[in-house]
């Protein structure tokens, strides 16, 4: 049963439809490119180039304008989706696309903020879905056969499909969780990696394999290599937490830490692949990888009999959702396949909206397992044809779903692992779904322990059990008591205040436990009616990450620019920043707190005279750290600027 279309439903036009030839091609060893970027099919390339130069819309055609002030280092070139070597004729025949080498057309660059929708609503709805004949396209039967013939069960296990009783009762649906977090490496990534590697010839295995990954794909390749008796090199950025690369080492692979970012690690891996004759194992964009991940969909169909409304799938590069859709839409076409992405890492949704793959200018790193700037060519083609749309969720909602999973069965998921669960809940609430059966895939449980602090802080906010607010109180006796009376029966869970001898008003930052939107609205109205200005900060990440810690720190600083920088989590990152910008300009504000991400979110204030702005931006670009202006954020003006300037 299709959900009713809401009044604000985001349904964006698709200007073109791109397909890739699925005709099998037999190539000699001279035309095999084991270390190269994926050369697209000629027909697809011609369509892509034509779309980029003529009919492709600019982001402003049907998307909101990008956030002003966002900048990134010009020296970074976003890589296209990764690929792998074609298997030799001696190996079991893999799925193949027409891989004639052509220089790829440049991809459109967009910012994640250019596509947002109401929580739970479908965005990025493809222009042609399964009901319009997408399943009749080339390659559908080949994928179905490849999934059925997959060898993943040499190392992977058939994970259980568990009914989530507490969540089902709360949402009014039958919610089942596909427990891919119970795989031997605590992630589904093992399936695709092994399926591809098992088809390599003995000669290729003897030459060894290589991949670039900072997470679950690395462990999947390492375990697969150990099973197949193959030497594996895993290239990881130097910013990778020790717990992750130690886990890969324990599986027998050789870990090489290279570069500050995934792009740099990948470039090194492909160079070494060429030099040593190894086979590159991509994380998502290869037919054998996709077919291996598709076994998740095969298991769901087998394990769950009866009506099924939708399967919710986390989306990074698109390998998992492409594989599931390729199988499920062939055998159960009535089942919706819905992707879930973080609102700040929405490469697939934006690609579907634009009708072509795009490159994200920056990507949020909280759900690092899906923090991908460019989706795969083949995964995008399949998603265009087969999936029913994308749901975008916030970081707070992901944290809330991690807590939900813990309360359900005492298991802790990583952020990307809880992504589909957050999307399923948001979708059910938005469309008022009742009585239907839905499945969410818990894709991984490789959680960094230090990230749990942030999860606990934001989980109640994400489930709307806590709100973060700021109220201005007159600096006079009795005002605190008056404030407490106005809060009433609402439970205060956090309170921050510092007396300001120079100010007439005090800024109080606090959190309250809430039960309904009506109760919160009534409390804010009581404050406003008593002439106590109150601002709800619950949905402002800048306030929650940084500004809530600056109580009493408002002042007027001449020529101050405020930016958020993403520092690589490695020794020397701070000194590199200071050597670039100081003492040329005075640093007026600095706030950093480790959050267990691959990059540190740092708020910086710098006094830069107007005539030096161009020089500052040039130096910041050359620094190589991504950064974004916060000068237009109203919460910055509220909490940091002098009261006389508010």
Active site amino acids: 189, 443
- SS3 assignment for 513-540: ECCCHHHHHHHHHHHHHCCCCEEECCCC
Torsion sign, CA atoms 214, 215, 219, 221 = negative
Structural contact between residues 372 and 121, judged by C-beta atoms closer than 8 angstroms:
no
Provide the 10 A C-beta neighbour count for residue 36: 17
Give, for 196, the enclosing helix (H) or strand (E): helix 189-197
Which among 569, 82, 115 has a CA at the least distance from the CA of 342? 115
d(CA 268, CA 259): 8
The full DSSP string for 541-603 is HHHHHTGGG-TT--B--TTEEEEEEEEESSTTHHHHHHHHHTTTSEEEEEEE---SSSEEEEE
Which among 416, 317, 316, 423 has a CA at the least distance from the CA of 367? 416
Cα atoms in the Cβ-side hemisphere of radius 13 Å centred on 516: 4
Which among 533, 272, 577, 311 has a CA at the least distance from the CA of 421? 311
The full DSSP string for 383-432 is HHHH--EEEEE-HHHHHHHHHHHHHHHS----TGGGHHHHHHHHHHHHHT
- The burial class, CB within 10 Å (0-12 / 13-18 / 19+), for 69 is middle
d(CA 358, CA 373): 8
d(CA 444, CA 180): 6
The vertex-107 CA angle with 626 and 15, nearest 5°, equals: 125
> SS3 for 511?
strand
DSSP H helical ranges for 229-355:
242-250, 262-276, 287-303, 319-331, 347-354
d(CA 585, CA 614): 13
d(CA 441, CA 312): 6
Give, for 340, the enclosing helix (H) or strand (E): strand 336-342
> SS3 for 142?
helix
CA distances from 202 to 191, 196, 274 (A): 20, 13, 18
d(CA 453, CA 7): 38
Give, for 12, the enclosing helix (H) or strand (E): none
Strands 70-71 and 627-629: antiparallel
Structural contact between residues 421 and 443, judged by C-beta atoms closer than 8 angstroms:
no
* Preceding amide of 185 cis, omega within 30: no
* CA 468, chain centre distance (Å): 25
Going by C-beta distance under 8 Å and a sequence separation of 6 or more, which residues neighbour residue 9?
121, 122
d(CA 172, CA 176): 13
Strands 466-474 and 534-536: antiparallel
């Amino acid at each position: 049963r299709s959900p009713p279309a809401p009044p604000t439903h985001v349904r964006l036009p698709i200007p073109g439809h791109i397909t890739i030839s699925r005709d099998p091609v037999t190539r000699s060893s001279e035309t095999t490119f084991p270390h190269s970027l994926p050369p697209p099919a000629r027909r697809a390339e011609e369509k892509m180039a034509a779309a980029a130069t003529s009919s492709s819309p600019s982001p402003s055609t049907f998307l909101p304008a990008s956030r002003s002030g966002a900048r990134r280092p010009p020296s970074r070139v976003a890589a296209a989706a990764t690929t792998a070597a074609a298997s030799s004729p001696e190996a079991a025949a893999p799925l193949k696309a027409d891989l004639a080498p052509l220089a790829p057309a440049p991809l459109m660059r967009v910012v994640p903020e250019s596509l947002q929708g109401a929580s739970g609503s479908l965005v990025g709805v493809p222009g042609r879905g399964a009901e319009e004949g997408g399943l009749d396209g080339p390659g559908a039967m080949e994928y179905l056969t490849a999934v059925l013939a997959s060898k993943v069960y040499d190392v992977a296990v058939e994970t259980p499909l568990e009914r989530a009783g507490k969540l089902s009762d709360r949402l009014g649906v039958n919610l089942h969780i596909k427990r891919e977090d119970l795989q031997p490496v605590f992630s589904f990534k093992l399936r695709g990696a092994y399926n591809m590697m098992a088809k390599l010839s003995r000669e290729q295995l003897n030459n060894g394999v290589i991949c670039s990954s900072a997470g679950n794909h690395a462990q999947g390749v390492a375990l697969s290599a150990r099973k197949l008796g193959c030497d594996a090199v895993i290239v990881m950025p130097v910013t990778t937490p020790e717990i992750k690369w130690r886990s890969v080492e324990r599986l027998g692979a050789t870990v090489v830490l290279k570069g500050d970012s995934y792009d740099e690690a990948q470039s090194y891996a492909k160079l070494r692949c060429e030099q040593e004759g190894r086979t590159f194992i991509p994380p998502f964009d290869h037919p054998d990888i996709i077919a291996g991940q598709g076994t998740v969909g095969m298991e769901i169909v087998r394990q769950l009999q009866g009506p099924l409304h939708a399967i919710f799938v986390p989306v990074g590069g698109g390998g998992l959702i492409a594989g599931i859709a390729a199988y499920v839409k062939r055998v159960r076409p009535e089942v919706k396949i819905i992707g879930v992405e973080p609102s700040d890492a929405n490469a697939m949704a934006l690609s579907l909206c634009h009708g072509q793959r795009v490159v994200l200018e920056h990507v949020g790193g909280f759900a690092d397992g899906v923090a991908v700037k460019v989706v795969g060519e083949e995964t995008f083609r399949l998603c265009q044809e087969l999936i029913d749309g994308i749901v975008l969720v916030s970081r707070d909602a992901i944290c809330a779903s991690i807590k939900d999973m813990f309360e359900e069965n005492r298991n802790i998921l990583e952020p990307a692992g809880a992504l589909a669960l957050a999307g399923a809940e948001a979708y059910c609430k938005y469309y008022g779904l009742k009585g239907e059966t839905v499945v969410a895939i818990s894709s991984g449980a490789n959680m960094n322990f230090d990230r749990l602090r942030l999860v606990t802080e934001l989980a109640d906010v994400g489930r709307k059990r806590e709100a973060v607010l700021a109220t201005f109180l007159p600096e006079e006796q009795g005002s605190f008591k008056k404030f407490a009376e106005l809060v009433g029966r609402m439970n205060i869970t956090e309170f921050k205040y510092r007396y300001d001898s120079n100010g007439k008003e005090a800024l109080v930052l606090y959190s309250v436990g809430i039960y309904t939107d009506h109760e919160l609205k009534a409390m804010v109205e009581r404050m406003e009616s008593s002439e106590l200005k109150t601002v709800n900060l619950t949905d402002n990440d800048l306030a929650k990450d940084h500004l809530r810690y600056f109580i009493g720190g408002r002042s007027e600083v001449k020529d101050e620019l405020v930016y958020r920088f993403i520092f690589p989590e490695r020794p020397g990152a701070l000194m590199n920043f200071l050597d670039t910008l100081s003492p040329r300009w005075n640093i007026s504000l600095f706030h950093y707190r480790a959050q267990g991400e691959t990059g540190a979110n740092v708020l910086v204030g710098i006094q830069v005279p107007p005539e030096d702005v161009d020089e500052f931006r040039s130096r910041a670009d050359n620094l190589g750290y991504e950064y974004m202006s916060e000068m237009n954020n109203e919460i910055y003006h509220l909490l940091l600027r002098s009261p006389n300037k508010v």
